[in-house]
Amino acid sequence: MSDIIDQVLSSLSKGKIFKARELLLPDYVPETLPHRETQIRKLVEIMSPLVRSEKPSNIFIYGLTGTGKTAVTKFVLKNLHKRFPSNFTYVYVNTRQSDTPYRILADILESLNSKVPFTGLSTAELFRRLLKKLNDIDSIVVIVLDEIDAMVKKHGDDILYRFTRANNELGKSLISLIGITNDVKFIETLDPRVKSSLSEEELVFPPYNAEELEDILKQRAKFAIYEEAISDEVIRLCAALAARDHGDARRALDLLRVAGEIAEREGKDKITVTEVEKARVEIERDRVYEVLSTLPFHSKLVLTAILKGLKSKSTLTTGEVYEIYLKLANKIGVENVTQRRVSDILNELDMVGIITAKVVNRGRYGKTKEINLAVSEDIIYKAIVESDERIASLWS
C-alpha cells in the first residue's frame, strides 16, 4: 500500500506544471498589479502625509469582490513603509476572520507587540490598553479593517465609532483608518457620525474586464507556471469565465490554479481547456458545499424535508414541504418554525440557487409553489449531513 503513497508523492514532486504554485494563492501580494495604477496613485496621494509623519485622512475603500482592494492596500502600505519605516506602523485585520470586537482589538494589540489573553478581559479594557500602547509608541498607526461589513453586521458599529473617536481621547492624531468592504450599500447603514469620519476619502475599485483579467493572469502565470505548460487559450478561457459574473481576479486565479492542480494530479504536462472546465465544476461544487454547510439549522431541516419528499414525488408544494418538515422537527424534538417562515426559507433557498420555487396557478385551488432541486441531491445530502449531527440522525 505504501507504494501507492510513494507513487502519488513522486508524481507530485515531479510536477511539470508549477514553478511556484504558492504565487497563485489568494494571499500572495504580487510585485506588479496591472490595471490598478489609478487606485495605487490615489491611495499613495491620500497616504502621503505619512512622508511628513502626519496622519492621513481616514479612507473608505469599496468595490466588488476580487477587484484588488486588499492587494492594492497591502502593496501601497508595504512600499511606503519600506521607504519611511520610522514614520508609521500599520496593522492589517481581516474582520471576517477576527469577527468580534475583542478579536479585532486583540489582533491589533498583538501586531503592536502587546500580549493579550485569549479571553477574560472586557473590550473596554482592551481599548484602554490600545490607547495606552499608542501613547507609548507615539507614532502614526494605520489600521486596515478589511471586510468590515462582516463584523458590523454581527456586532454593530460601536467599535468603529470608538476608533473614529480615538484620536480625541489620545489628545493627538495617531490613528488613521482604512475600511474595506465589497458591500457597496454597507456605508449607508452606518451611524452618520461613523460614516462621515470613516469616509473622509473614498476610493472605488471597478470590476476588471476580460482583457484586463488576461493581463493579470499572464503576469501572475509568468512566475508561477512553466511556459510550456500553459497557453494563451487557457488564459483567455479563465479570464472569460471570471469576467462573466463580474471581473473577479480571485476567481480567475482560482480557475487557473485549480486547473493546474488537476493537470498535475492527472500526470499531464500541460493545462488545457479540459482542465479549466473541470476546475470550473470543482470550484462551483466547493462554493455550493460552502453555502449549504453554513446554512442556519431550520434551512437545513427544510432541505431535508425536500430531499425526503422528492423520493416519492417529482415535485412538491410549499404545504407538502411544511408537513414533512413538521414531522422531522418533531422526530428530533426541536421547536418548529411557522409555515410562513418556511415559505420565506424556500424563497431564500431559491434566491441562492439551491432550489427552484415556481409559482403555479391551480385554478380554483389558488396559487402554490412547485419546489424542485436546482443542484444535485448528492451534494445537498453530503453538505447538510456532514455539517449537522441532528440532521445526520434523520438519515441513520
Ligand X SMILES: Nc1ncnc2c1ncn2[C@@H]1O[C@H](COP(=O)(O)OP(=O)(O)OP(=O)(O)O)[C@@H](O)[C@H]1O
From 16, 19, 55, 250, residue interacting with ligand X (rule: CB under 6 A): 250
Residue 18 identity: F
Minimum CB separation of residue 205 from ligand X in Å reads: 6
- The reply, when asked if residue 119 is annotated as ligand binding, is no
- The reply, when asked if residue 278 is annotated as ligand binding, is no
Which residues are paired to 63 by β-bridges? 205
> Are 142 and 119 within 8 A, CB to CB?
no
State how far the Cα of 223 lies from the Cα of 205, in Å rounded to an integer.
25
Longest CA–CA span in the chain (Å) reads 78
State how far the Cα of 260 lies from the Cα of 276, in Å rounded to an integer.
8
Angle (CA) 74 76 80, round 5°: 115
> Are 134 and 141 within 8 A, CB to CB?
yes
From 39, 58, 70, 304, residue interacting with ligand X (rule: CB under 6 A): 70
Q: Looking at the chain, how many residues does it have?
A: 396
CB-facing half-sphere around the CA of 243: CA atoms within 13 A: 16
Minimum CB separation of residue 192 from ligand X in Å reads: 25
State how far the Cα of 195 lies from the Cα of 179, in Å rounded to an integer.
11
Angle (CA) 316 319 324, round 5°: 75
Binding to ligand X in span 145-204, by CB under 6 A: 182
Binding to ligand X in span 263-322, by CB under 6 A: none
Minimum CB separation of residue 254 from ligand X in Å reads: 9
- The reply, when asked if residue 67 is annotated as ligand binding, is yes
Number of residues that bind ligand X (CB under 6 A): 22
Provide the grid cell at 313: 414525488
Binding to ligand X in span 49-68, by CB under 6 A: 63, 65-68
Residue 335 identity: E
- The reply, when asked if residue 222 is annotated as ligand binding, is no
- The reply, when asked if residue 92 is annotated as ligand binding, is no
Q: Which is nearer to ligand X, 242 or 321 (CB)?
A: 242
State how far the Cα of 148 lies from the Cα of 182, in Å rounded to an integer.
9
From 36, 103, 257, 280, residue interacting with ligand X (rule: CB under 6 A): 36
From 69, 280, 300, 369, residue interacting with ligand X (rule: CB under 6 A): 69
Q: Which is nearer to ligand X, 80 or 203 (CB)?
A: 203
Q: Which is nearer to ligand X, 30 or 49 (CB)?
A: 30
The answer to whether 33 contacts ligand X (rule: CB under 6 A) is yes
From 26, 156, 267, 353, residue interacting with ligand X (rule: CB under 6 A): 26
From 109, 159, 198, 249, residue interacting with ligand X (rule: CB under 6 A): 249
Residue 132 identity: K
> Are 205 and 226 within 8 A, CB to CB?
no
The answer to whether 253 contacts ligand X (rule: CB under 6 A) is yes
Minimum CB separation of residue 19 from ligand X in Å reads: 17
The answer to whether 251 contacts ligand X (rule: CB under 6 A) is no
Q: Give the DSSP letter string of 292-351.
A: HHTS-HHHHHHHHHHHHHTTT-SSB-HHHHHHHHHHHHHHTT-PPPPHHHHHHHHHHHHH
Minimum CB separation of residue 216 from ligand X in Å reads: 4
Minimum CB separation of residue 68 from ligand X in Å reads: 3
Q: Which is nearer to ligand X, 145 or 166 (CB)?
A: 145
Q: How far is CA 364 from CA 319, 339, 353, 361, 367, in A?
A: 16, 21, 30, 9, 9
Q: Which residues are at the interface with ligand X (CB under 6 A)? A: 26, 29-30, 33-36, 63, 65-71, 182, 205, 216, 220, 249-250, 253
Binding residues: 67-71, 208, 220
Binding residues for ATP: 67-71, 208, 220
